[in-house]
Amino acid sequence: MNREIIDINKEYGLVLAGGGTKGCYEIGVWKALNELGVKIKAVSGTSIGAINGAFFALRDFETAYEIWSNINISNFIEIESDNMIAMFIKAIRSSGLNVDPLRAMMDKYFDEDRIRGSDIDYGLVTYSLSDRKPVTVMKKDIPIGRINDYIMASANLPIFKTAEIDGKKFIDGGVYDNIPAPLLANSGIRDIIIVHLSGTVPSKNHTAKSLGIDSLYNIKNSSELCGILEFNHEKIMTGIEMGYLDAMKAFGKVHGKKYFLNTSVEEYEHTKYLKPVTDIELIGILDRIREDSNGDSRSMRYPLIKRLYEYSEHKLTSKTVLQACLEITAELFDMEHIRLYSADELYSRVLEEYKKTMESIEYVQSRKTLMEMYKSMEFNDINKKNLAAYFISLGASDKTSKKYLLKYVPKVYIAYLFLDFMKTRDKRLLAK
């Protein structure tokens, strides 16, 4: 499937979604934008997006990155205990958590005059509980001296003490629009990039047509992020790295479908083992599928092609089929997702894990037990990388089991087929 690549030469408005500590992802996207020299002329945000957006308007990536890299719950909330349950109980009893530390951070770093004087326009969304309506404002619309008040109002999660401005109460802008793209579109921005944070509040499905703009691009987290109020350092840093890699992929500088590869499809031609399959090799693969399906290859091929298509970076061709097989096999063998590989490096790591698996394989007890598991679809107690290695060890025997594998767990079959095929190219797979 072809992925739409963001045009690096345009000037954009940037929309940053809300999502608490999931906002670490936006810092990674920002890092990529800086490296690529992408021009941003306006930024809007909701909740943590409004906070990150203020840093962005100030062009202060270093401070934002430093804060996120050393983030602690005490930077946001006044707490007496690290026990989250106790914290939530206290919030209920005391009409919300005290977020004075967050306000102190804003007052330290967010100089209103600098935000207003920045050549990057800035806007945010909050919601007035008093007036029962959303408040969507660009910096020119915010009263003088009140920018930090409005940022606090935008980032006022329901668990926090209610924010007040001039006697009116406000709550997190995510209750109205967690991805405030209309704010930029209504300000005359014609090309917009939205940075999404999945696993938060339901978001409006904005399109270029619905916004009346020329182009709209979306950068979405490719894997699960931390929780909305999860201050886990490792997960925060992983989120930043994910944002960076997802953004680089969105601009066509990193490749792969589920993994992140610095090898483009065109460059597979120059890899040692992963060159495009030849017509003769393709015939051999199709013959193997026909063999393993006991002649019922037409119906069996559909789930295989569907899975390969899902993992193919572009259209499924002789150039991309090994890339798709490699990523499926890497996932099966639990290769780390959030890091940059070359295609050869990812293949070598898969090979290492495969060899370890073959050395310590826990063979399925019997074919009868295996078939019962297939039929009942109870795969939770089967180690799938062991299963792929097991079928490779069968060689040409046991075609019945392979038919069930092909039918019920096509991704495992693809891994088996890929590794078995690679024996024709890589002698290391033949070593005992």
Q: Are 169 and 129 in contact (CB under 8 A)?
A: yes
Alpha carbons 224 and 86: distance in angstroms, whole number: 26
46 contacts: CB under 8 Å, gap ≥ 6: 16, 17, 18, 124, 125, 154, 172, 173, 174, 177, 178, 179, 180
Report DSSP state, residue 401.
H
Which 3 state secondary structure label does DSSP give 241?
Answer: helix
Q: Are 68 and 236 in contact (CB under 8 A)?
A: yes
Q: Among all chains, which residue has been given the structure tokens 């207003």? A: 116
The gap from C-alpha 261 to its chain's centroid, in whole angstroms, comes to: 15
| Secondary-structure percent of the chain, ordered helix, strand, coil, rounded to 5 | 50, 10, 35
What the block records as the tokens of 276 is 């495009």
Burial class (CB in 10 A: 0-12, 13-18, 19+), 345: middle
23 contacts: CB under 8 Å, gap ≥ 6: 16, 47, 48, 49, 51, 52, 68, 197
Q: Which of 35, 52, 31 has the alpha carbon at shortest distance from 43?
A: 52
Strands 133-138, 340-341: parallel, antiparallel or unpaired by DSSP?
A: unpaired
Alpha carbons 10 and 429: distance in angstroms, whole number: 47
The gap from C-alpha 358 to its chain's centroid, in whole angstroms, comes to: 32
Q: Which of 36, 37, 40, 43 has the alpha carbon at shortest distance from 252?
A: 36
Q: Are 245 and 30 in contact (CB under 8 A)?
A: no
Alpha carbons 217 and 252: distance in angstroms, whole number: 13
CB half-sphere exposure, 263, CA atoms < 13 A: 23
Q: Are 225 and 27 in contact (CB under 8 A)?
A: no
Q: Among all chains, which residue has been given the structure tokens 């939205």? A: 194
Q: Active-site residue numbers?
A: 47, 172
